[in-house]
Amino acid sequence: MAANWKMFKTRSEAEKTAQTLLSKIEGKVPADREVLIAAPFTALSSVDSVLGSQDWFHLSGENMYPAKEGAFTGEISADMLKDCGCGFCLAGHSERRHIMGESDEFVGEKVTFGLANDLSMILCVGETIEERKAGNVQQVIDTQLEKGLAGVEADIVPDRIVIAYEPVWAIGTGEVAGPEEIKEAHLFVRKKLENIFPDKFNDIKILYGGSVKPGNCAEIIALDNVDGVLVGGASLDGESFSQIVLA
Ligand code: PGA
């Protein structure tokens, strides 16, 4: 159950949200459930200080630059994320693809580099409304997966790579993809994973993202090939995210 806080929360706000979440779910997280928060760089240590010792918790960066270190003003490295307590990083979130103009190839470089530098990676894929209307959903996801995973070894430890299917038209819009749309896309992702990781594909988690809320989460995670959710807006409130975590 993953949260993506995007560009929200100061350090004190992040700490407060993490404390609210912990107070609501401590001792109640089912053994087969993991909780992840992708937080802004400046808030990572604050979240880690509250939740870092929980065995069900993972801290994640929202972005990373694929180089060890260097003259990359404004960027953040894998080592810096790990230094703040992160075990994961997102790559290819639709806001990075569409607002920052990141290409499929660049997203793939981040996935490869993050994995090689001991981060587990969450690769986000998903079509725009124009691409869906044009009947190109599978083609778009296929290319994003192909290029995003191009540098990943076939014998990858399955826990180290997570796919998040997030239709762009459902992100932050209140519009959730219907069960059939979600099942179809997730089955397509699973089949693509089978091609790339023939021995591991069933153990790689596929998350759904796009206007997930406490009220629709249980129904979504019950669908075939949906192993969890990636939540933006509804994860910003500790109480609301706690309901999602325990859904
Ligand atoms: P949302 O965002 O839950 O606000 O739609 C999801 C995401 O961007 O990961």
- How many other β-carbons are positioned within 10 Å of the β-carbon of residue 243? 17
Cα separation, 179 vs 177, in Å, equals 7
Pocket of ligand 1 (CB under 6 A): 4, 166, 171-172, 209-212, 230-234
Angle, to 10 degrees, between the axis of helix 11-25 and the axis of helix 44-51?
20
Q: Per DSSP, what are the bridge partners of residue 91?
A: 123
Please choose from 4, 36, 89, 122 the residue to mutate so as to test ligand 1's pocket, defined by most ligand atoms within 8 A of CB: 4
- In eight-state DSSP terms, residue 61 is E
d(CA 95, ligand 1 centre) in Å:
10
Q: Which two tokens stand for residue 194?
A: 């089978």
The question of whether 166 is a catalytic residue gets the answer: yes
Identify which of 245, 183, 236 has the alpha carbon closest to the alpha carbon of residue 214.
245
Task: Determine if residue 2 is left, alpha or beta; phi over 0 gives left, psi from -120 to 50 gives alpha, anything else beta.
Answer: beta
pLDDT in tens, the chain (247 residues): 999 999 999 999 999 999 999 999 999 999 999 999 999 999 999 999 999 999 999 999 999 999 999 999 999 999 999 999 999 999 999 999 999 999 999 999 999 999 999 999 999 999 999 999 999 999 999 999 999 999 999 999 999 999 999 999 999 898 888 999 999 999 999 999 999 999 999 999 999 999 999 999 999 999 999 999 999 999 999 999 999 999 9
Cα(171) to centroid(ligand 1), Å: 5
Tokens 């594909």, residue? 201
Q: Which two tokens stand for residue 40?
A: 């802004």
What pLDDT does 110 receive? 98
- pLDDT in the model for residue 57: 98
- Pairing mode of beta strands 228-231, 2-4: parallel
CA distances from 11 to 89, 96, 190, 211, 235 (A): 19, 23, 37, 25, 16
Q: How far apart are CA 80 and CA 122, in angstroms?
A: 18
Tell me which residue has its CA closest to atom 1 in ligand 1: 232
Supply angle C-alpha 178, 161, 80, rounded to 5: 115
Q: Which of 8, 166, 169, 244 to mutate to test the pocket of ligand 1 (most atoms within 8 A of CB)?
A: 166
pLDDT value of position 204: 98
Report the distance separating Cα 9 and Cα 41, nearest Å: 10
pLDDT value, residue 175:
86
Active-site residue flag, 93: yes
Which domains, and CATH codes, for the chain? Answer: 2-25+33-245 (3.20.20.70)
What is the structure's pLDDT at 176? Answer: 85
H or E, element range at 13: helix 11-25
Three-state secondary-structure class, residue 163: strand
